[in-house]
């Protein structure tokens, strides 16, 4: 989760239109009661946030992390990028957050601010209410989503495939390069299950060659030019 949150936090400023000025703003959402959490509450907040941005002709990118306070209440930290010509209203006063209090302030070190809350969330994820999402993001371009997905791939795939491959996990194991339909076998596999423990190790090239794609897969007919798309292209983040 840490790598996912910090990667999208780095990518969002790169997607701003050239010459535009945006201000990272931290919004903290606090529940009034310890057991007041509901999954619809934060969704409602983001719906109102997006509507406020659309009314002003902008798409507001944001990333958020959930935290568990010492008293046991869920706490949200939302990082929103707002054009400098606008001022984000207080969520509780505006009626966007009706379940407690909110705080809105400028975020001087956006990535560092979220990083500490990501670490806290990961360390106590077992204590969160069932069904709660620990983090998320929205308002980002499709290109930023693809770059984020590429950075979250295992290193052995990033060393071979570039962003243009559009890699996704394949049903039944392995990976699928959606750009041209190639199936890539997994690099790791389960070798034994004993006494409730699952043993996983890196597969040899011979073991990988014995693996078969999932049922229904058809090997693509690659044109000559397609072989060049397998080269790794540089992706900045």
Asked if the structure places residue 157 within a domain, the reply is no
pLDDT of residue 232: 41
Low-confidence stretches of the chain (pLDDT < 50) are 224-237
pLDDT of residue 226: 43
Whether residues 141 and 190 share a domain: the answer is no
Whether residues 183 and 115 share a domain: the answer is no
Whether residues 202 and 121 share a domain: the answer is no
Domain count of the chain? Answer: 2
Give the residue from 130, 145, 160 where a domain finishes: 145
Whether residues 106 and 199 share a domain: the answer is no
Whether residues 63 and 114 share a domain: the answer is yes
Calpha distance 31→15 (Å, rounded): 32
Asked if the structure places residue 163 within a domain, the reply is no
Is there a contact between 122 and 91 (Cβ–Cβ < 8 Å)? no
Asked if the structure places residue 154 within a domain, the reply is no
**What's the CATH number where 136 sits?**
3.30.70
Whether residues 133 and 220 share a domain: the answer is no
Who's near 200: CB < 8 A, 6+ residues apart?
188, 189, 190, 191
Asked if the structure places residue 165 within a domain, the reply is no
Whether residues 27 and 92 share a domain: the answer is yes
- 174 conformational bin, left if phi > 0, alpha if psi -120 to 50, beta if neither: left
Whether residues 27 and 141 share a domain: the answer is yes
Whether residues 35 and 133 share a domain: the answer is yes
Whether residues 99 and 13 share a domain: the answer is yes
pLDDT of residue 112: 72
- pLDDT tens for 219-237 read 665 554 444 444 444 344 4
Asked if the structure places residue 83 within a domain, the reply is yes
Is there a contact between 26 and 77 (Cβ–Cβ < 8 Å)? yes
Asked if the structure places residue 177 within a domain, the reply is yes
Which residue range is the domain that position 204 belongs to? 173-230
pLDDT of residue 25: 94
- pLDDT tens for 109-158 read 777 777 766 666 555 655 788 888 888 999 998 888 889 999 999 998 99
């Amino acid at each position: 989760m840490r790598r996912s949150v910090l990667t999208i936090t780095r990518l969002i400023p790169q997607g701003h239109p050239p010459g535009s000025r945006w201000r990272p703003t931290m919004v903290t959402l606090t529940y009034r009661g310890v057991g007041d959490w509901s999954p619809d509450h934060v969704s409602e907040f983001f719906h109102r946030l997006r509507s406020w941005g659309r009314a002003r002709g902008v798409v507001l990118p944001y990333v958020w992390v959930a935290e568990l306070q010492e008293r046991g209440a869920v706490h949200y930290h939302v990082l929103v990028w707002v054009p400098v010509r606008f001022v984000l209203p207080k969520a509780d006063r505006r009626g966007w957050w009706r379940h407690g209090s909110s705080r809105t302030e400028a975020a001087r070190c956006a990535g560092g601010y979220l990083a500490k809350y990501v670490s806290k969330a990961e360390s106590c994820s077992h204590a969160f209410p069932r069904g709660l999402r620990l983090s998320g993001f929205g308002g980002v371009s499709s290109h930023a989503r693809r770059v984020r997905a590429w950075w979250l791939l295992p290193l052995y795939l990033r060393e071979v495939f570039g962003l243009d491959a559009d890699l996704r996990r394949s049903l039944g194991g392995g990976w699928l390069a959606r750009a041209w339909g190639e199936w890539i076998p997994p690099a790791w596999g389960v070798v034994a299950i004993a006494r409730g423990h699952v043993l996983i190790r890196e597969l040899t090239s011979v073991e990988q060659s014995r693996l078969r794609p999932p049922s229904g897969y058809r090997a693509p007919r690659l044109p000559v030019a397609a072989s060049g798309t397998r080269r790794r292209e540089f992706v900045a983040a």
